[in-house]
Amino acid sequence: MAEEPVAEEPVAEAPVAEAPMAEAPEAEEPMAEEPVAEAPVAEAPVAEEPMAEAPEAEESMADLEVAINMIMDVFARYAGTHGSRRSLSKEELRVLLEKELPGFLESGKDDAMEKLFRGLDTSEDSTVSFQEFVLLVAGLTAACHKHFQEEGAS
């Protein structure tokens, strides 16, 4: 009976010792046999396969990432020209809207701009932070979406 526990211990240790040994020769053999021939061939299909396997998921996420980055870039381009880089002054917001949303403030520019700025400046610090700016972008996006849904239903 004393011999059986001794036999069980090596059996339990053997799989643990075999796993690393089995992995090491496999990794070494392909690299040692054809490192130059397999590396370029393996890299091209690997780079192409993920794009080909799930184009819809990749494209959708990529499009959203691009849109988010564009919003952040637009804000950063205009913020800080007259003050803090973390917020838009009234003049910076006006220039942003005139260049990025031409025609948005055409009628009654000064009055509309004043109302818009007061509405966005929820912190009442006479600037529009990125969070406040995003509310404008989200509101415009929702309004456009609603408009196009209603137009499509007619």
Q: Check: CB of residue 152 under 8 Å from CB of residue 114.
A: no
Q: Check: CB of residue 93 under 8 Å from CB of residue 129.
A: no
pLDDT for position 111: 84
pLDDT for position 99: 94
Spatial CA neighbour of 129 closest among 138, 141, 117, 140: 117
pTM of the model: 0.56
The domain limits of the chain are: 57-153
Tens-digit pLDDT profile for residues 52-65 = 444 455 555 689 99
pLDDT for position 92: 96
pLDDT over 60 at 16, yes or no: no
Sequence-ordered list of residues with C-beta below 8 angstroms from that of 121, at least 6 positions apart, any chain? 127, 128, 132
Tens-digit pLDDT profile for residues 85-105 = 999 999 999 999 999 999 887
% of the chain with per-residue pLDDT over 90 = 44
Mean pLDDT of 95-122: 87
pLDDT for position 83: 83
CATH top class, domain 57-153: mainly alpha
Q: Which residue's structure tokens are 């966005």? A: 120
pLDDT over 50 at 139, yes or no: yes
